[in-house]
Amino acid sequence: MGWFMLAALWCVIAAVPSGAQSAAAVPRLPPGLHTLTLDRPSDTAIGYALAVPAGYSPDGPPVPLALALHFGTPAGSSHGAGRGLIGILVAPALMKLGAIIVAPDAVEDGGWGAPRNEEAALTLLDAVQRTYRVDSARVIVTGFSMGGSGTWHMAARFPDRFSAALPVAGRPTAAVEPAWRVPVFAVHSRRDGLVPHEPTAARIDAIAAAGGNARMILMDEPTHFDTGAHVPGLREAVPWLEDVWREARATSR
């Protein structure tokens, strides 16, 4: 290859935006629960868990996608927390959806509203959508405790990214009812001694009063630290969510 052709090839490569060369990628994996790391050349690697549903095929119909945000952990010990959340709560509760579930491990303290945690979660969500056959109209966000608060945060900050929000045992973020756009199904317990249920109930009532699609399941038994006992409550979101998607499809026709 002559010098002229090499120079021309270099110009073409240089013209490609840097983001296109360095976009984070996740592997295409078979059904099952996988523990992985998303390496990023210019930032901290993101540990995460990925659940691919039984029967998923890259040649099949698009499937829903759930971003699952884990509960709080001691400083610097979030490794594996995303996998724990999927196994204990999200997969058992939402299995009937046939959704891919991706659960990042937090990369810094401060909750899911912390800028680097927020950016890491969205980076991972984008990477999964590039690799897997996902229905962009059926992307949801859910989470427990700190992740429940993160669910409120993500739905408020990025309403165009999510078709619904399913916060569990999470304290709502600052009131934004006039601008609230995401259907929300909250799960909480009367026995939650760490995150009282009353602020969640008040937020759900306010969103509904403003015309939003908001529902709450108030459980009687689980304490805050009994994550798995919230499965029946979150499972009740499945038919509600299917109705939300059905109505959205009808409206878009």
> Over the stretch 4-23, which tens digit does the pLDDT of each residue have?
332 333 333 233 333 333 46
Cα distance between residue 102 and residue 121, in whole Å: 9
**pLDDT at 195 (0 to 100):** 96
Set out the domains of the chain in order of their start, with CATH numbers.
Answer: 3-252 (3.40.50.1820)
Mapped onto helix, strand or coil, the DSSP state of residue 70 is: coil
Mapped onto helix, strand or coil, the DSSP state of residue 126 is: helix
Cα distance between residue 114 and residue 111, in whole Å: 6
Residue 98 region, left (φ>0) first, then alpha (ψ -120 to 50), else beta?
left
Amino acid letter for position 180: W
Tell me, what DSSP letter sits at residue 86?
I
The pTM for the full model equals: 0.89
**pLDDT at 176 (0 to 100):** 57
pLDDT tens-digit readout, 29-85: 999 999 999 998 888 899 999 999 999 999 999 999 999 999 876 545 577 899 999
